[in-house]
Amino acid sequence: MLLYELTSALAAYLLFCTVLLGLTMGSFASCMAWRIAQGEDFLRGRSHCDECGHELTAKELVPVFSWLVQRGRCRWCGSKISVRCPFTELLCAAAFVGIVVGYGVTAQALQYLILTVLLLAVALVDYDTGLIPNGLLLAIIINWAVFTPFLNQSAFLTNLTVGIISALCASIPLLLLSLFMDRILRRESMGGGDIKLFFVCGLYLAMQEVLFLLIVSCIFGLLFAVLTQKKTGDPENPEAFPFGPAIAAGAYVSLLAAKPAVAYYISLFF
């Protein structure tokens, strides 16, 4: 059910709930990414201050609001809490609204909401460590595999085949190009995690939408590299920058815009 099919009051209430859910899941993604980057178990243990280790109470865990009330500092030790925390929460809320506006109250929307949280976590971990955890990539694959049978049962095998072919189209050419450039440059030109991330993102797209993903991801990659000047810290390739955030952003934009963009492009010629 799409939002325009609902009454204005019900649509507004649904969007309000979406924002709250997005803020909460953004906080979860931020915590999960930090713990993965630090080598901690994100499924066990309560949230705590990164500096003094104090376990946070419920009123200290309210997304955005707690950070504002505490003026961006821990109540116990006074250490600064990164502005990235509320920014991540607001970003996730905005991303959730985009999915619900585009896909309504559907199984497809739920799948994409879960994917959004996982992509956000991938982006944060890769930004901090220069690595993309295989566990998060596996979770993205599981999310795709679990929902695919329910999205269109009459075309299950078709959807399954298209997803796998799209994933291969998104990753195999990049793998071959990367291997070729590695030999030319005598250093790693693209991380294996980036190629695997393209693969799992390709599962969610049609074959003709893969090129859109690649182009948008490269554009975001250039912007992130220029604006953040972030490096992975790889001693063998000191100029390497974390490409995962750009791929994650490209994948999210592709969920919303790839289909109409490709349709418009094709209409110019036919």
Structural domain boundaries of the chain?
Answer: 1-105, 134-270
Contacts of 182 (CB under 8 A, 6+ apart): 188, 189
Which of 229-249 are b and which e, b meaning 16 or more Cβ less than 10 Å from the residue's Cβ?
ebebeeeebeebbbbbbbbbb
The pLDDT value recorded for residue 112 is 98
Contacts of 252 (CB under 8 A, 6+ apart): 95, 98, 116, 119
Q: Which of 21-25, 26-30, 178-182 has the lowest mean pLDDT?
A: 178-182
DSSP designation for 57: P
The pLDDT value recorded for residue 129 is 92
pLDDT tens-digit readout, 94-148: 999 999 999 999 999 999 999 999 999 999 999 999 999 999 999 999 999 999 9
76 compared with 203, residue with greater pLDDT: 203
pTM of the model: 0.93
Contact present, 197 and 247 (Cβ < 8 Å)? yes
Cα distance between residue 219 and residue 247, in whole Å: 10
Contact present, 254 and 209 (Cβ < 8 Å)? yes
